[in-house]
Amino acid sequence: MGRRENRKQVACFKLTGTGIKMTQYLKWLFFWGMVFATITVDIPLGNAQEDINYRLKWLFNTSVAGDLYALDMGYFKKEGLSVAVKAGSPERDAIRELELGQAQFGVASADQVILARSKGSPVIVIAQLFQKNPLQWIYRAEPGTLSNLSDLKGKTIGITYGGNDETIMRALLKKGGIPEKDVTLFSVRYDYTPFYRKRVDIWPVYINSQGIILNDKLTENGEKTGFFDPSSYGVRFVANSVVTSLKTLRERPAMVQSFIKALLEGWKESLAPENKQKTLSVLKKYDRDTPTDIREKQLAITRTLIIPEGDAHLGYIDREAWRQTEQIMLEQGLIPKPVSVTDILFQDGFGPTQKKQD
C-alpha cells in the first residue's frame, strides 16, 4: 500500500509541478502579451484608425479660434469628416504624431517643420495660419526705449533658450549689427516676475495672448507699454502652419482637400466681425479660464495676424517668409544644410488666389 500510495503521491507532485510551470508560462505569456498590446495600442500604425486627429501646437486659447469654430459649428462634419481637435504642448509634437500615425493633421511652427524636414521627416505644409508671427517683445514705453534696432544695446532681453524667440532675437541682433556682449540675455520661464520687477527690459510674448494680459496689468499700474515687432525690422520668421504627411497627401488628396476647406472656412467665419459673439462663446466653451474681456481683445488681435493683406486668401503660404526662415536657421547652425524649402510647401495651393510669383 505504501509503495502504491507513494507512486500516487509522486505522480501528483509531478502533475502539480507541471501545473505550476504551466501557470508560470501563462503568466509570462500574459505579461508579454500585455506589453505588446500596450505598445501597439500606443503606436497605431499608418491609417489604421478611421477618425482624424488634428494636433494643435498649444493649449486651447484664442490663437486656435478658427480650429475650434470649425469643430464646434460642424464644418468638418459637413465635409464628411470626423475630426478630433487635440490641444498641444511643448512635449506634444504634431510632426512626430504624423509620422507615428497618431494624427493626420497638425499645427507646427516653421522652424519645427524645417528642422523635421532636414532630418528626413516627410512633412508638408498645406496652409499657413499666421500671416504675421504673433511673437513680439513687450517693454515699458519710456522715452527713447525702443525706436530702432540699435536701441537694443545695453538692454536685458528675455528669451526662451531653445525656443524660436531665441532664434528671432539672434537674427535681429545680427541685422542690427549688435554683438551679443552688448546685450544681456535673460532666460525666460513661466512667471513674469522678473519683468514686473524691471529686472528684464523686454519680455517675449505672444501679442494675441499673454501680451494683452501683461499690457493690461501694466496699464492698470499706470505704466505705458509698447511691443517690439521683429517684422518691422525685416525679420519675417513664419509661425504656425497646418501640416500633414506626404503619405496622407498622396494617398488621400480628397480628404486633405476637404479638411483644409472645412478648416479655412471655420477660420474665415470665426474671424468675421458679425460672428464675434458666436466665436467668443465657442472659445468660452473650450477655454474657461480666460476672462471674456481679455478674450475679446485677443480675438481682435488674432484677426490682424491671420487675415492676409492684399488679395491673398486665408491660409496663404508666404514662400518668401519661409525662405527667410530657412536662411536664418542656416545662419544660426540650426540646420546643417538647406532643405529646399519649396519642397515642404504644398505647391498647388488650396485657395483661389495663391499669388503667381510663388
Query: Which residues of this protein are in contact with another protein, per CB under 8 A?
Result: 43, 45, 90-91, 93, 95-96, 99-100, 112, 115-116, 119-122, 160-163, 187, 189-191, 193, 334
Cα separation of 98 and 302, whole Å?
26
The distance of closest approach from Cβ of residue 167 to another protein in the complex, given in angstroms and rounded to an integer, is: 10
Which residue's CB is nearer to another protein, number 116 or number 146?
Answer: 116
- For the residues of 271-293, what is the DSSP string, one character each? HSGGGHHHHHHHHHHH--SS-HH
DSSP 345: B
Residues 6+ apart with CB under 8 A from 297: 212
Angle between helices 292-306 and 276-286 (to 10 degrees): 110
The distance of closest approach from Cβ of residue 19 to another protein in the complex, given in angstroms and rounded to an integer, is: 32
Place of cell 469654430: 69
Which residue's CB is nearer to another protein, number 26 or number 43?
Answer: 43
- The neighbour count for residue 311, using CB atoms within 10 Å, is 9
Task: Write the single-letter amino acid at 349.
Answer: G
Residue 107: which of 77, 76, 133, 128 has the closest Cα?
128
The distance of closest approach from Cβ of residue 340 to another protein in the complex, given in angstroms and rounded to an integer, is: 16
Which residue's CB is nearer to another protein, number 163 or number 176?
Answer: 163
Which residue's CB is nearer to another protein, number 117 or number 295?
Answer: 117
The distance of closest approach from Cβ of residue 201 to another protein in the complex, given in angstroms and rounded to an integer, is: 17
The distance of closest approach from Cβ of residue 333 to another protein in the complex, given in angstroms and rounded to an integer, is: 11
Cα separation of 113 and 331, whole Å?
17
